[in-house]
Structure 1
Amino acid sequence: MLLLPLHSHGQFQTPLGVAQGQLPQFRAAPPNTPANEPIGGWRILPRLNVVETFSDNVRLQPEALQRSDFVTQINPGLVVTGVGTRYSVNIDYTMNNLIYANLSNFNRIRHQLNAMGTAELIKDFFFVDGRAVMTQQNATLFGAQGVNNINVTGNRQNVNIYNISPYIRYRFQDIATTELRYTRNMVSSSSNALFNSQADAYQASLNSGTAFSTVQWGFNYSHQAVHYERTNRTVEFERSIGNLRYMVTPRFGLTATGGYERNTFLSIRGSPSSPTWTVGFIWEPSQRTSIAFNAGQRFYGDTYSAVATHRTRMTVWDLNYDENITTFNQQAGMSGGFNIGNSLAQLMAAQNPSMSPEAIQQSAQALLGLGLQGSFFDPNNFFSNRLFLQKRLQASVAMNGIRNTFILRGFDMRRKAFSPEGVDSGLIGAGNAALLNNTRQTGVNALWSYRLSQLTRANIDLTYTRFAFLAVDRVDNLGLARVSLVRQLPQLLPNMIGMLEVRHNMRQSNQPGLSYHENAVVGTLSMSF
C-alpha cells in the first residue's frame, strides 16, 4: 500500500514531490502490517501532526488590545480509501485539538472531515454518489479574518455538508444518452442565526450521441426546492433548457440555448422568472487548448460565461467566469467548481504518468493550501440567509519544473442581494445588514516553492485581498506573507516531516478601530503510521 506524507493541518503534505518527473516515491508498507494491510482494495492510514504556534495577536485585535499566546495543536487523523471495480471511497478525518497557554478558556476540539464515495449498483445503469464535509470558515467579511482555527476572533464557525445522489444513466446506442438524478443536500452551521437548509433536487437530461457529429442537441430539466429551518420559507429554482451545437469544423462549433426559468423567491429587483437564452462558441485549436464563451439573457439582464484552459509541458493556464442566482447554502453544498488545485494536478499527472491520481492530487493540494483557511486564496462564501446574484472571475497560471513550482492566481467576485435584508438582521445585526447589499472581493496570490534538496523545500507565499462594501463607505485591505522551510526527516521516522514557518497577517480598513496586524511563528511535526 501507499504511505503518504502529511499536511501540517490535517491534510496531506508533500514538500518535495512537485518537481517535474520527480514526485516522491512513497514506500510500500511491510506485507505483515495488519493495521495498514489493504483488504479487497481498502487502505487505512493513521496519522498525527503536532503544531506549535506563537502569535503576538492571537485574537486579531487592534494594536491597543492585542494579546499574544502559545497555541498547541495535537491533530490525530485517519485516511480510509477503498477502490473496487464498481465503487470508490475516500474518507479523510482530522480531530483538531487546540490548547492555549494563556487563553485556556478557548481550548477546544474542531472536527474536520472530507468524505466522498460513488458506487455502481447496476452495471452501466444505476449509480449512487455521496459526500460529507465538516469544516470551519470565517463567517463574515467584516469580522476579523482568521488564518486558521488558532485565531480566536468570534468569526469562525463550523459548517457541515451532507448529500446523497442516486442516478441512472442509459445509452441509446449511438443515438443519445440520458441521465435522471435525485440529490438530497443538507447544510448546517454552528451559527444559530444562519438558517440550516435541506434541498431536494431533480435533474433530467437527454443529449445526442456520437451519431450526431455536426449538429448536436440536448434537453435539460432541473428543479430544486430549498427549505430553510425555523422559517416557513421554501425557495424553488426550476429551469427547462434546450441546447444546440453546430460544429463548423471538428474543432470549432457555434452554440445556442433557450428555455424558461421559474424561481419562487421574494425578489427586491423585479420578477425572478422569465425566458432565458444564450449564444456562443467552443473552440479547441489543439489538444492542449480549449475556449468556450456564451452570452445571453436571464431574468436579471445580460448574462455571460467563459472557460479557457491551456497547457504546455511545464505550465497550465486557466480562466473561468460564471454568474448565477445562488445562496450560501447552495455554494457550500457544491462539490467543487473552479479550483487551481485541479489544474495543477492535471499538469503534474501529465509530467508524472506513473503516479497514482491520489498521490498527484495530494501533492498539488499540499503546495496550494499549506494549512491555511479563510479569505486569502479564494473568495469567501460568507454567511447569509439572502439570495444574491454572484458574478465570479478567476484566473491562474501554474508552472512546475525540476526545482521550482510557481503559482499565480487571482479572483474577482461580486455579490448583489436579490432578497430583503431583514432575513439577515438576526445573523449580523440590523445595523450591518446593508453591508451585504452589494459586495466585491478581489484578490491575488503568488506562491513560489523551491526544492533545495531531495529532502528540503522552501516556500514563499504572498497574498493580497480587498473587501469592498459597495453599499456603504467601507473598504478593507488584507495581506498575508509567509515563508516556510519543509524537510523530510527519515532519520527519525520514515514518514515524518518537519516544517518551520513565519508569517505576517494584516488588515487595513478605512473605518476606525478595524485595522490589525499579527506576526506568528509556527513549528510542525507530521507523521503517518
Structure 2
Amino acid sequence: MMLFSSNSYFCRIFYWIIYLIIASLLVSHAVAADWEVKPRLNLRETYTDNLRLGLGGGGGGGGDFITQINPGILLTGEGRRFNTNINYMMNNLIYAEHGEFSRIRHQLNANATAELIEDRFFVDGFARMTQQNAFLFGPQSVDNANPVNRRNVNSYSVSPYFKHRFKDFASAELRYVHGEVNTSGQGSFSSSSDSGIARLASGADFRVLKWGLNYNHTEIRRDQLRTIDLERSIALLRYVVTPQFDLIATGGYERNSFISVRGKSSGPTWTVGFAWAPTERTEINLSGGQRFFGDTYLATVNHRTRLTTWNLSYNQDITTFGQQSLFGSAITTASALDQLLSSTQNSEALLNQGVPFTFSDPNNFLTNRLFLQRRLQAFLAIKGNKNTLLLRGFNLQRRAYTAALEDVSLIGLGNALLTRDTDQTGGNISWNHRLTPQTSANINYSFTRIDFLVSDRIDDNQLIMFSLNKRITPNMNGMISYFHNWRNSNQSNSDFNSNNVTASLNMNF
C-alpha cells in the first residue's frame, strides 16, 4: 500500500505541516520557547457481528475481528509570539476475515499561530485529516471499524493578517484566508476558497455608541462546477445602555453570484438585537432581522453554576460542505466540548468513552450544493463528586439553494433529489460514574432522526454503549466497551443492527 504520492492531498498537508513547524522554529529562534514531544500508542481489538451494517439482525452483514495498531505523536510548542499544536495518529486497521478492508487511515489535528511582526503581522493555520459518514441515506457507522459509508475528509487553511490601532479612535484588521477541502472515494469532493476580510472597529474613545465596518469577499471553487462568489458589506452600531446591557443593530448588503433555485441570491440585510450579561456566569445574545432568503435569527445563551454548565445556540447561514468542514460553527465537537467541560469533574473520562461524539452530532454530509443551514442546539452538564451527566439536543435543517444536477456526479440524480431538503433531530445522554480514583464506568445513549422532506422516508438511528475505563499506570489506560448500533426506517429493507465489543489500551511515552 502506497502511503502517499507526489500528487496526493496527504502529501500537500504533509508539506504544510513541515512549513508550519519551520515557521514556528524561526519565530522561536528569536524568543524563548518550550517544545514538547509525546509519542503514544493505541491498541484496539474489536469484534463486530455486522461488519458491513447489512440488513436484518446481527450477522446480516457478516462478522469479523478487527485489530487496530495506532501509533501517534503530540508535538507542542509555545512561546511569547507563537503557539503550535500537532496531534497525529496513524490508524492501522487489520481485518481477520475481510482482508480487502484492511487499510491505513490518517488522523490529524494541527493548528498554529505566529506573530511575525510584533503587534502588527500574524499568521494562523490549521490542518485536519478525519473520517466521517459520507451520506445521510447510508448506514451511520460509529467509527472506522465498520468500513461502510466512510470517507476521508482532509482540510487545511492558512490565514495571514495585519492589525493596526489608530490610537484610541479605532482598530483595523486586514485578513486573507485560503482553505482547501478534499475527500476520498468514488465521486470524491474537492473545493478551495479564498477570502478577503477587512474590519474597522471603534476604539476606547467611543464609550457609549460603538461602531464597526466589515467587508468579506469569498471565492469558492468546486471541482468541475462554476465558481461561486459571496460578498457581504456590513455596518454595526452598538449602544451601551448599562455596563451589562447593549443594544446592537447591523445593516448592509449581500451580493452573491450563485444561481439560486429558490429566488433571489442577493439583497439588503439588517438585524437588531441585544447582548446582556446579568452576572459573571451568564451571557445572553439575541438578534433577528432580514436577509435575501427571508427572516434570520441568531442566539447564544451561556450559563454556569457550581454544579452545572448550560449552553443554547441558534444560527443560520448560506454555506457549503467545504465551508462547514473548514469553519463549521458546531459547539458539540469534541474540542468544543472539552472547553465547555473544562471545570467539570471527570470531564476527561466523559470525553473518552470510546465513541466519537461526532456520532451524536448531525451529519455534515457530502454535497456540492450551496444550502441554507439552520442549527439549534442545547447542552447541559451536571457534575458531582463521582457522577457527571451530559445531555445534548439538536435540530439541523438544510435547504439546497443550487440545482440537484451539481450532485449527480457525487451521488446520482435520485439521491441528489432525496437530499435536497433534510431535517436531522436528536441528541444524546452520557453518564460517567467514578468507581475508584482510577476506574470509571460510562453509559451513552444517542438518537438521531433523519427526515428526507422531498419523500416520505424517515430513518431513526440509535446507539447505546457501556464502557469501563481504568488508569493502569500514570501513562497507561485501558478500556472495555460494548455498543449496539441500529437503524429503523419506514423504507423497506433499510433496517439494520450491529453489536460491537472492543478492548483497548492507550500508552503514552
TM over 0.5: yes
Counterpart among 424, 427, 432 of residue 444 in structure 1: 427
CA distance in 1 between partners of 2:109 and 2:370 (Å)? 26
Deviation of residue 194 (structure 1)? 3.9
Deviation at residue 254 of structure 1 after TM alignment: 1.2
- Kindly provide the CA deviation profile for residues 477-499 of structure 1, in whole angstroms up to 9, marking residues without a partner as x: 01100010000112xxx411110
Residues 16-95 of structure 1: matches in 2 within 5 Å?
A: 40-63=33-56, 65-95=60-90
Note the aligned Cα RMSD (angstroms). Answer: 1.7
Q: In the alignment, which of 234, 249, 252 is matched to residue 242 of structure 2?
A: 249
In 2, the alpha carbon distance for the partners of 1:276 and 1:212 equals: 25
Tell me the distance in 1 between the aligned counterparts of 2:340 and 2:496: 38
Between the aligned partners of 2:328 and 2:396, the Cα distance in structure 1 is 19
Q: Work out the CA distance in 2 between the residues paired with 1:121 and 1:224.
A: 25
Is 1:140 the counterpart of 2:140? The answer is no
1:211, 1:464 → 2: CA distance?
51
Q: Matched residue of 2:322: which SS?
A: helix
Q: Is the contact between residue 441 and residue 467 of structure 1 (CA under 8 Å) also seen in structure 2?
A: yes
Name which of 404, 416, 420 aligns with 2:387. 404
Whether 1:324 and 2:317 are equivalent positions in the alignment is: yes
1:485 and 2:478 equivalent? no
Matched residues in 1 for 2:64 and 2:184: separation?
25
Tell me, in whole angstroms, the C-alpha distance in 2 between the residues paired with 1:300 and 1:56: 47
Alpha-carbon contact 1:389-1:417 (below 8 Å) kept? yes
Q: SS of the counterpart of 1:238?
A: strand
The match for 2:116 is 121
Match of 2:170 among 151, 171, 176: 176
Equivalent residue letter for 2:477: I
Partner of 2:251: 258
Q: Are the aligned partners of 2:350 and 2:431 in contact in 1 as well (CA < 8 Å)?
A: no
**8 A Cα contact 1:55 1:68, kept in partner:** yes
> Which amino acid in the other structure matches residue 167 of structure 1?
Y
Query: What is the identity, as a one-letter code, of the residue corresponding to 1:483?
Result: F
Alpha-carbon deviation of 1:210? 2.3
Aligned positions of 1:233-312 closer than 5 A = 233-312=226-305
- The residue type paired with residue 467 of structure 1 is I
Asked if the contact 1:168–1:181 (Cα under 8 Å) also holds between the matched residues in 2, the reply is: yes
SS of the aligned residue for 2:367 comes to coil
**Residues 520 and 108 (structure 1), Cα distance of their counterparts in 2 relative to 1, 3 Å cut:** same
Normalising by structure 1, report the TM-score: 0.87
How big is the shift at 1:510? 0.3
Q: What is the CA deviation profile of residues 109-135 of structure 1, one whole-angstrom value per residue up to 9, with x for unaligned ones?
A: 101110000000011111000100011
Match of 2:364 among 381, 387, 393: 381
Matching residue of 1:425? 408
CA deviations 1:138-166 (Å, max 9, x no partner) are 0000001111001021x101111011000
Please tell me whether the aligned partners of residues 448 and 461 of structure 1 are also in contact (alpha carbons under 8 angstroms): yes
Residue 345 (structure 1) shift: 4.2
* Aligned counterpart in structure 1 of residue 98 of structure 2, from 92, 96, 103: 103
Which one is further off, 61-70 or 184-193? Answer: 61-70
Give the match for residue 4 of structure 2: none
SS in 2 for 1:431: helix
The residue matched to 1:70 in structure 2 has which SS? strand
Q: Report the equivalent of 1:227.
A: 221
Structure 1 residues 348 and 507, CA gap change in structure 2 (3 angstroms): closer
| d(CA) in 2 for partners of 1:278, 1:51 | 51
Change (3 A) 1:187 1:129: same
Cα pair 2:251 2:270 within 8 Å, conserved: yes
Deviation at 1:414, TM superposition (A): 0.3
Give me the whole-angstrom Cα distance separating, in 1, the residues matched to 2:266 and 2:444: 45
Structure 1 residue 374, shift from structure 2 partner: 7.7
User: Do the aligned residues in 1 keep the contact of 2:33 with 2:80 (CA within 8 Å)?
Assistant: no
Give the letter for the 1:456 counterpart.
T
Higher relative contact order (CA 8 A, sep 6+): 1
CA deviation after TM superposition for structure 1 residue 88, in Å: 0.3
User: What is the DSSP-based 3-state SS (H/G/I as helix, E as strand, rest coil) of the residue aligned with 2:483?
Assistant: strand
Q: CA–CA distance in 2 between the matches of 1:344 and 1:332? A: 17
Between Structure 1 and Structure 2, how many residues are aligned? 476
CA distance in 2, matches of 1:97, 1:50: 10
Shift of residue 335 of structure 1? 6.1
Q: Distance in 2 between matches of 1:351 and 1:433?
A: 43
What is the CA-CA distance between 1:525 and the residue it aligns to? Answer: 0.8
Match of 2:150 among 152, 156, 172: 156
Distance 1:198 1:130, change over 3 A: same
What's the CA shift string for 1:502-526, capped at 9, x where partnerless? 1100000000111000111110011
Please list every run of 5 or more consecutive structure 2 residues that lacks an aligned counterpart in the other structure: 1-31
Quote how far apart the aligned CAs of 1:339 are. Answer: 3.1
Query: Residue 199 of structure 1 corresponds to which residue in structure 2?
Result: 193
Report which stretch shifted further, 55-64 or 134-143: 55-64
One-letter identity of the residue aligned with 1:191 = G
CA shift, 1:319, in A, is: 0.6
Q: Which AA in structure 2 matches 1:322?
A: N
Aligned residue number for residue 490 of structure 2: 510
Identity %: 50
Q: Which amino acid aligns with 1:488?
A: R
What is the aligned counterpart of 2:476 among 496, 502, 508?
496
Distance in structure 1 (CA, Å) of the matches to 2:415 and 2:256: 27
- Of the structure 1 ranges 479-488 and 188-197, higher mean CA displacement relative to structure 2 is found in 188-197
- Partners of 1:134 and 1:348 lie apart in 2 by 24
State the secondary structure of the residue aligned to 1:433.
helix
